[in-house]
């Protein structure tokens, strides 16, 4: 009897031997954790939890400076001394195409159905996600970070000021000006000083988000695809000139931040809870981007202004961020690494990646919400840093939006609800595209001349350094032609047609 049991155990062990050896495999990993990172991958609990779950360990080459990571990427691909996997890879589309075609990044598409069934199911449920990560060759060289409520750059408006002044949120440019004037003149922060900044902004890039006031959303190349499939270069159009005229009048009347063309987010941020709030409106991903937690409670996401009965706003990043995870030709077991990362594309895996296991540092309330165990005041910043790596860089995962929105805090829940509702207004200026190395070089050469010229002229017009006359506007438009606006439009028309 004992001998029979022993033989069965030995047989089971032999059958499980390949699985155990795979589970105990060790790989090399390199990646970019973001400029704001204070994580140490070698001790971070995210990787510890993943090791406990999968048995897979890594040796790490972690980078926390963008320039250093870019140099490292270029060197590793140039020398062929590659890690097994790139995590938080920050691969550009052009890099993904180049290194997939060279064979240094493996094509993951044939492996996804077998080794990453959770991600494969998501991609089949959302064909636009699959299209976004598929290269022109039909290959998939890198996996994405997916966020169903993606980051935007919204206008946050001080609701307390609106209430105090008996105003409603603006719905068009005319009512926007009315609100800005009231913010300027009626001392809404109540400190007896004329220190209010009706609308804060960060350079021409943020001002161009106001294109939505004319029913237009454009990308960083200043182009958009109209409903008829025609590519438009917005600075050539009347709506661009009209917006610049409006912004000039706003600036002249003290309705815009006087330092808007020469400031930075660091300089605009308020860290003192007791400081007077001076911003009536500002552009930011969330209300917390510039102000303290308490001060941000006064701000609401402003709905897009109405134009011709419609409200649209630029979809800044979309739901898919490409280039987050890739496996190189150095890896001897791509399937194991795909199984490892596939867990992050599930709700359970993403939640565990974000905050760990229930009961360890967070608990679920009777009402279905979650909160930090013992209260957030008992969770140190060091603990949060060691708990997870999701908060910097781009994780390969499906962000657990449903779980995140159930955080037991009214302010966080409110902001999340507002961002979710705002998604209904967003529109992508241009379809998802992938550029070859040659195409990328071609459009960057145009953008270096044309994009800089557009932004410089916009700033000079708004500041009043150049008066807006028929003559100066004609000169501006001729300058667009001289710097390649027709070539820019033609380039993107070809991409759109393809």
Q: CA dist 280 to 128, 233, 257, Å?
A: 37, 32, 10
Domain boundaries, the chain: 25-149+319-412, 154-314
- Whole-angstrom Cα distance, residue 338 to residue 335? 5
Whole-angstrom Cα distance, residue 250 to residue 18? 70
Q: How high is the pLDDT of residue 24? A: 60
For domain 154-314, give its CATH number from 3.90.550.10, 3.40.190.10, 3.50.50.60, 3.60.15.10. 3.40.190.10
Q: CA separation (Å) from 359 to 49, 51, 152? A: 14, 19, 33
Distance CA 195, CA 325 (A): 47
What pLDDT, on the 0 to 100 scale, is given for residue 15?
32
Class of domain 25-149+319-412: alpha beta
Helix (H) or strand (E) holding 167: none
* Span between the terminal Cα atoms of the chain, in Å: 71
pLDDT given at position 251: 98
How far is residue 23's CA from residue 19's CA, in Å, rounded to a whole number? 6
Identify the H or E element spanning 289. Answer: none
Strand ranges for 328-448 from DSSP E: 362-364, 370-372, 426-427
Phi, psi of 379, rounded to the nearest 5 degrees: -105, 115
What is this structure's pTM?
0.84
Give the mean pLDDT per block of 10 residues along the chain (498 residues).
Answer: 33 33 75 91 94 95 96 97 98 95 97 98 97 95 93 94 98 97 98 96 97 97 97 98 98 97 85 92 92 92 96 93 97 97 96 90 88 74 81 93 86 83 93 88 96 98 98 98 98 94
Q: Do domains 25-149+319-412 and 154-314 have the same CATH topology?
A: yes
Q: Which residues neighbour 495 within 8 Å (Cβ) at sequence distance 6 or greater?
A: 433, 435, 439
Q: What is the pLDDT of residue 391?
A: 86
């Amino acid at each position: 009897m004992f001998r029979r049991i022993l033989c069965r155990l030995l047989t089971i062990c032999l059958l499980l031997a390949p699985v155990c050896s795979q589970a105990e495999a060790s790989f090399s990993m390199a990646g970019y954790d973001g400029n704001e990172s204070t994580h140490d991958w070698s001790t971070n609990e995210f990787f510890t939890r993943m090791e406990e779950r999968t048995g897979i360990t890594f040796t790490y080459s972690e980078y926390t400076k963008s320039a250093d990571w870019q140099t490292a990427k270029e060197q590793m691909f140039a020398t062929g001394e590659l890690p097994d996997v790139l995590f938080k890879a920050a691969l550009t589309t052009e890099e993904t195409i180049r290194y997939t075609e060279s064979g240094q990044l493996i094509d993951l598409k044939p492996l996804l159905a077998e080794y990453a069934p959770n991600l494969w199911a998501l991609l089949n449920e959302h064909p636009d996600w699959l299209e976004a990560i598929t290269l022109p060759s039909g290959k998939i060289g890198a996996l994405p970070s997916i966020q169903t409520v993606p980051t935007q750059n919204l206008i946050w408006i001080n609701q307390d000021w609106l209430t105090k002044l008996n105003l409603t949120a603006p719905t068009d440019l005319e009512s926007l000006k009315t609100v800005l004037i009231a913010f300027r003149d009626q001392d809404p922060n109540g400190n007896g000083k004329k220190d209010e900044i009706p609308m804060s902004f960060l350079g021409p890039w943020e001002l161009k988000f106001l294109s939505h006031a004319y029913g237009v959303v454009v990308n960083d190349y200043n182009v958009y695809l109209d409903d008829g499939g025609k590519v438009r270069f917005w600075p050539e159009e009347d709506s661009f000139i009209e917006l610049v005229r409006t912004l000039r009048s706003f600036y002249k009347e003290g309705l815009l931040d006087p330092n808007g063309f020469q400031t930075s987010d660091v300089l605009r941020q308020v860290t003192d809870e007791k400081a007077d709030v001076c911003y009536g409106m500002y552009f930011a991903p969330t209300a917390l981007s510039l102000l303290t937690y308490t001060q941000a409670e006064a701000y609401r996401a402003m709905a897009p202004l109405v134009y011709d009965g419609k409200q649209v706003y630029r979809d800044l990043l979309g739901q898919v961020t490409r280039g987050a995870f890739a496996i190189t030709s150095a890896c001897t077991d791509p399937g194991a690494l795909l199984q490892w990362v596939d867990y992050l594309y599930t709700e359970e895996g993403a939640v565990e990646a974000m905050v760990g296991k229930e009961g360890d540092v967070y608990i679920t309330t009777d009402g279905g919400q979650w909160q930090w165990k013992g209260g957030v005041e008992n969770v140190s910043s060091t603990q949060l840093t060691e708990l997870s790596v999701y908060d910097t860089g781009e994780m390969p995962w499906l962000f657990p939006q449903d779980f995140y929105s159930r955080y037991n805090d009214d302010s966080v829940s409110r902001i999340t609800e507002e961002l979710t509702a705002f998604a209904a207004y967003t529109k992508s200026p241009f379809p998802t595209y992938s550029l070859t190395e040659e195409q990328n070089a071609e459009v960057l050469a145009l953008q270096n001349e044309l994009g800089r010229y557009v932004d410089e002229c916009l700033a000079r017009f708004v500041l009043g350094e150049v008066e807006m006359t028929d003559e100066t506007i004609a000169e501006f438009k001729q300058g667009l032609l001289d710097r390649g606006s027709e070539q820019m439009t033609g380039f993107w028309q070809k991409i759109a047609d393809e």
